[in-house]
Structures are given as C-alpha cells and as structure tokens.
Structure 1
Amino acid sequence: MKGKILIVEDEKKLADVMALYLRKENYNVTCVYDGEAGETAILNYDYNLIILDIMMPKKDGWSLLRKIKAEKNTPVILTTARGEEEDRIFGLELGADDYMVKPLSMRELVLRVNLRIKNRMSSNNNANFSFETMNINEINREVFEDNIIIPLTPKEFDLLLFLCKNPNQVFSRDHLLNKVWEYDYTGDTRTVDTHIKKLREKINFCNKHIKTVWGVGYKCSIE
C-alpha cells in the first residue's frame, strides 16, 4: 500500500467514487460520512492524508481542520462546493495543504494526492528505522512488517517508537506513561500493559523483542 487516506465527506456517492479511484492507485482508503465520525477517526487513527469536506452535518470541516492541525502533522486537502476566494484563503490560513472546488475531477484529485504523498515521503527520507523485518517511518507514522502495513492506534505507534528508539533500556510503566502519554499518571497503569499486548499481537517483531522485566516494566531487546 502507498499510504492510508481518510475521506470525510457527507455525499456518500462522491466519497465512494473518490475511494474507488484512490484504491486503484493502491491507497488504503477509509470513508466516513459526517463530521462526528470524522473526528473519531482522526483522533483514534493515523493517516498519510485527509480529504476533508467543509459543509457537513454534526460538525463542519473548519472545526475538524483546526483539530487536525492542533494534534497531527497530517496533510489535508479541503473540498467544497463553494469556490469563493475568502473560503480558500481561510482554509489555507487554518493550515490546509490544498483546496479543491466541486464538482471534482477524479484525475486531478489523484494527481494532487500523489503529489502530497510524494512530497511528504521525500521530506521524510531520514525518518526511517529498520529492525529485522519491521520498518518504522516516524513522520508518516507507519509501521511495516514483511512489507505489509500494520494498522496501529496513535498511542500504540508512539509506544513502539519510543521503545525502539531507546533499545535495551528498561522503563517502568509510570515512566512510559509520562513519556508516551505525556502526563504524570497516578492511577491504574494497566493501560501500558494493554498497549504492549496489542503490539505483540499485531507485530511479530514486538512479540519476540519487547520483553517484560518483572517488577519493573518493559524494554525493547535488540542485540
């Protein structure tokens, strides 16, 4: 797969057509059809690019764009039936990477997506880490094993990256919560155990190399 794309578009037929063309280009595409579903997807998963409609039920594209740019580093292509200059400028000022006015040309959409993905990948050539059959791209936030992309939640990715960038060091659960979740946690630390379990289930490398240090925490054991 060339990358993961989220389409947030309330016109289901249009979203499905966009997904069809992008899947033909070997992209992994997810479609959601209102702003609330878009927010859930954005907060819980990582994508290489987001195609975002502005006028949607439940939550508009402007609100989602602000949230994306506040919490992610994901390129966004805005789509709208309105082509006024003020809207285009406002979207770009909020951090949109591109802007397309409906009706959309599917050929142009594919070209713009390819360009954005290519530009992001070319700027991330030094952000790759390889461990046996597993590869991590830090900026694209992608993990591959045996050249197959592994779907991870944002915190699963953050935890894996932190352990792999600090090999053979033992970290307590409290320390991992502080570094990965970025807060001091004084309650139940089982959330770390749950995320470690998921990584081991999803990635063979993690099953072999993320070790439990009894009474202390975890480490990524790399010879």
Structure 2
Amino acid sequence: MPKTILIVEDQQILREIMKEYLLDEGFRVVEASDGSRALELFHEHEIDLIILDIMLPELDGWSVCRRIRKTSNVPILMLTARSDENDTLLGFELGADDYVVKPCSPPILLARTKRLLENRQIREPGDTLSGGGIAVHLPSRTVTLDGKLCSLTHTEFEILACLMKNKGNIITRDQLISKIWGYDFAGDDRTLSSHIRNLRSKLGEHACRIVTVVRSGYKFEDRP
C-alpha cells in the first residue's frame, strides 16, 4: 500500500512540483495551502509523513508542528526560506525531524523524504531493546520508562534505538548523522545536539543513560 504524504505549502507552483515528484515515485499525496487545513487533513487521513512549510497563512508551520506532536510522532520534514539558525533549532525543539531550506532541489527533498520513511520501516515482532529502565519496542515504535509510555518524535526514537542497539559502544556524531539523515545531510552538529538535548529532556531521570564522550560522540550505558 502506498505511503501517504501530506504537503503543506502555500505556494501552489512549488506544491505542484513536489506533488508531481512524489506521485512519480508511487506515493499518495494530499495537500494543504494553510495550517488550519493541514490539521484537518491530518485527522482525516492516515498520514505517513508531513512536508511542512513554516510560513503559512491561518496557522504557521511551527504551530502546526506543535499541535501534531501532542498526539503523533509522524515524521515531519520542515521547509523554510529562512537560514537563521534559531529558526531551525526552534523547529527541532517543537518536534520536527529534518528540514530543507528553500529554494530546494526536488530530488534532494525526495531523498530526505525516503530516508525518513525508510528509518520508520516496521521491524520483526518481538524486537525489543531494554536497559536502565528504558524499553524500546521496535515494531510498534514505542518507548517506556519504568513501564510508563514516553512519547518521542521520529528522530528522537531513531537516535535512542541506534544508541541502545550499540549499548556500551561509542557511536560517533558522524555515524549518528549518517544513520538518521544520510550522507547528503546539509545540516551540522548543532542539529544533532538539538535532538539529543530534546531526547534527554524527555527521558528525565533516565537521561544519564545517554553519555557524551568528549570529542568522540555518544554511548548508551545501563548504569550511570
């Protein structure tokens, strides 16, 4: 069954270009030109990924992202015409998984979309990672802390799963970036740092399990 992509972009020409590329790749596409309509469509359809512009009428992309993150960890790829670092970091803090600066190359946008969806593929049933009071169930993409459900974004989940799969071993920043975003990642270390900071915040007292190894990367430890 084809994956469904929600495109939220107020510029019709750009929206049509993105839609054409996605349809050619076999995706199903629904589209909105403003934030309010985007939320309506999100609740009407089973959405697998959202391509979300920041500057929108009715309701901006940040507000849309914030509202969706209250109930869903669907991958969100943000589009921004702004190159300001603070704008980008704000998007990550609100739960965005990746971003592309406009004007963007459709093939690059398509590659980022596929990457996020590939990382979300269902694993074999019973595939569970655990340690230090944290349990990650890969098939359902759920995380529990001492038995209590913890809601993570797509990217936060991928980072935690990657570290727990390599428990006790150092994973370099470059290795994490390659795993989560691919070799064509256009961001920098601050993007990864922002997601790590958000992940630790959600893990609360379990945040100590993610250990920073200076000038190397990170590792997951059962014991603080």
TM-score, normalising length: structure 2: 0.55
Whether the aligned pair in 2 keeps the contact of 1:9 and 1:34 (CA below 8 Å) is yes
Q: In the superposition, relative to structure 1, how do residues 139 and 50 fare at CA in structure 2: closer, same or farther (>3 Å)?
A: farther
- Match status 1:82 vs 2:82: yes
Give the letter for the 1:6 counterpart.
Answer: L
Task: Measure how far apart 1:125 and its partner are.
Answer: 4.0
For 1:27, the equivalent position in structure 2 comes to 27
For 1:73, the equivalent position in structure 2 comes to 73
Task: Measure how far apart 1:44 and its partner are.
Answer: 2.5
Give the letter for the 1:49 counterpart.
Answer: L
Q: In the superposition, relative to structure 1, how do residues 109 and 82 fare at CA in structure 2: closer, same or farther (>3 Å)?
A: same
Task: Measure how far apart 1:139 and its partner are.
Answer: 4.9
Aligned-residue CA RMSD (Å) = 1.8
Gaps of 5+ in 1: 128-137, 141-223
Whether the aligned pair in 2 keeps the contact of 1:16 and 1:31 (CA below 8 Å) is no
Helix, strand or coil for the counterpart of 1:121? coil
Cα distance in structure 2, aligned partners of 1:95 and 1:32: 20
Task: Measure how far apart 1:126 and its partner are.
Answer: 2.9
Q: Deviations over 1:125-179 (max 9, x none)?
A: 439xxxxxxxxxx859xxxxxxxxxxxxxxxxxxxxxxxxxxxxxxxxxxxxxxx
- Match status 1:126 vs 2:125: yes
Q: Deviations over 1:171-214 (max 9, x none)?
A: xxxxxxxxxxxxxxxxxxxxxxxxxxxxxxxxxxxxxxxxxxxx
5 Å-filtered alignment, 1:166-181, equals none
Q: In the superposition, relative to structure 1, how do residues 139 and 32 fare at CA in structure 2: closer, same or farther (>3 Å)?
A: farther
Task: Measure how far apart 1:36 and its partner are.
Answer: 1.1
Q: Percent identity?
A: 40
Q: Deviations over 1:54-103 (max 9, x none)?
A: 11111111110001111112000000111111011110111100011000
- Match status 1:43 vs 2:43: yes
Cα distance in structure 1, aligned partners of 2:103 and 2:13: 13
Gaps of 5+ in 2: 127-138, 142-224
* Rg larger in structure: 1
Q: In the superposition, relative to structure 1, how do residues 126 and 31 fare at CA in structure 2: closer, same or farther (>3 Å)?
A: same
Helix, strand or coil for the counterpart of 2:51? strand
Cα distance in structure 2, aligned partners of 1:58 and 1:139: 34
5 Å-filtered alignment, 1:1-223, equals 1-122=1-122, 124-126=123-125, 139=140
Question: How many pairs does the alignment contain?
Answer: 129
